[in-house]
Amino acid sequence: MSDARDETFSDISNSYSENSGDSFTETTTKSWFERIKEAIVGIGIGFVLLALGIGGLFWNEGRAVQTARSLAEGGSAVVSVESNRVDPSNDGKLIHVTGPVKTTAPLADPEFGVSVMGLRLIRHVEMYQWKEEKREEKRKNLGGSEETVTTYSYKRDWDNRPVDSSRFRQADGHRNPEMRHKERDIVATDATVGAFKAGDQVLRQISASDALVLDGQLVTDVRARLKELGSVTAERIYLGADPSNPRVGDMRVTYTIARPSDISVVGQQSGGGFTSYQAKAGDRLLMATAGQKSAAEMFKAAEQLNTLITWLVRTLGTLGLLIGFMLILRPLAVLGDVVPFIGSIIGAGTGLVALLLTAIVAPIVIAFAWFFYRPLTAIIVLIVGAGVAYGIKVLASRRAASRSAPAAMPAPSAA
């Protein structure tokens, strides 16, 4: 079955035709003047991205320095204590404690009748639902107009987040129901590390990665609590008629758990528990991890995480600059698209210019941030860099001189 419709809005004309299968295509022709208008609007967006990129890069260097200084401060101030006794003289100090965690009350999810001993229990929920995929193919026409052929395809799949089907290009026949159950994170309220109360902030840093097997009495309890059509296996709770033939709206529920084990905590001693330690450098420190880790190991891991975050934000900030420059220069390429071949050449050129500007601006912003937040380090780096550059220049000059010097003439042999 096929049908075609034509719609016109301003300078944009749309034609639609359904294809075989659960997909359809939409062909949109945009005039050269409409593209110019969009490119001009894009200039404003480009400047916003430049501001966000520059601000983000500058802020990130300050954040990285503050976190590094806070960790260094914490590493020199932390005191490792035994977990079997709370010493009132350490109240307010940054302490490091390691030992087994104990709890007496089970973790309970009354919605499904799950009750099990542990430190942290996470309910994972997925729903079988419609998803929309979009694929675009663009073609420039003589005169500057641009034709876009967009193919929308629809498939059903599992997802742990609700997909808003009202935003689909073709919502009819692809409606998703509301997600009846949501993910839930449950932590023990009575957990202790020796004589210390673990607390909610500590336990939520412990990874709950072990799959919970539903067996024995647990299966019986879950089946008794189900209020809708479903089934229970060792791996999951299934809400629907047939797990082998899922329908839109069916759900599956699984659990992961952090079982009682050894943990290590670095935080401020507050009474018989832990709270965040306010470093003079600015950050609040409270770290927890599974297993027995020394304070030095925990601070080293935190430093590595800080480095990873720093480079991630640098990458995102630099990408923001690149996109911003490309949007600002895009009108030049659109103007040249009156003849598509010329527009493509100009587009490639503006892309290179945007890349070059990004390569210049991003390091300059980071350098200024270094001067602002850590001037001594910046000066040392500049001196070392200038020395290396000077050494390379001298070495290159000497090599050039040796190559240009005339070879020595051999002495004449005696007759």
Residue 251 forms beta bridges with which residues?
A: 127, 239
The whole-chain average pLDDT of the chain stands at 88
- Domain coordinates in residue numbering, the chain: 32-85+293-400, 86-130+158-292
Q: What are the structure tokens assigned to 345, written together?
A: 């050449």
Q: What are the structure tokens assigned to 225, written together?
A: 């609590």
Percent of the chain with pLDDT over 90: 66
pLDDT value of position 385 = 60
Taking the C-alpha atoms of residue 266 and residue 289, their distance in angstroms, rounded to an integer, is: 9
Q: Please report which confidence band the pLDDT of residue 402 belongs to, taking 50, 70 and 90 as the band edges.
A: confident
**Does the pLDDT at position 214 exceed 80?**
yes
Taking the C-alpha atoms of residue 317 and residue 337, their distance in angstroms, rounded to an integer, is: 30
Burial of 147 (0-12, 13-18, 19+ CB in 10 A): middle
Q: By C-alpha distance, which of 263, 253, 316 is closest to 54? A: 316
Q: What are the structure tokens assigned to 116, written together?
A: 């099990």
Percent of the chain with pLDDT over 70: 89
Q: In Å, what is the CA distance from 234 to each residue of 215, 243, 255?
A: 6, 14, 11
Per-residue pLDDT reduced to its tens digit, 275-333 = 999 999 999 999 999 999 999 999 999 999 999 999 999 999 999 999 999 999 999 99
For the chain, give the number of residues.
415
Instruction: Return the SS3 of 79.
Output: strand
Q: Where are the alpha helices (DSSP H) in 204-339?
A: 217-225, 295-336
Q: By C-alpha distance, which of 106, 110, 109, 78 is closest to 277? A: 78
**Does the pLDDT at position 412 exceed 50?**
yes
79-80 vs 94-102, strand pairing mode = parallel
Taking the C-alpha atoms of residue 65 and residue 60, their distance in angstroms, rounded to an integer, is: 9
Per-residue pLDDT reduced to its tens digit, 127-140 = 999 999 999 998 88
Taking the C-alpha atoms of residue 144 and residue 27, their distance in angstroms, rounded to an integer, is: 17
For residues 257-264, give the mean pLDDT: 94
pLDDT value of position 13 = 38
Residue 254 forms beta bridges with which residues?
A: 124
Please enumerate in sequence order all residues whose Cβ is within 8 A of that of 342, keeping only pairs 6 or more positions apart, or say none: 336
**Which amino acid would we find at residue 96?**
H
**Does the pLDDT at position 6 exceed 60?**
no
Q: In Å, what is the CA distance from 84 to each residue of 14, 58, 272?
A: 73, 45, 11
Other CB atoms within a 10 A radius of the CB of residue 278 amount to: 13
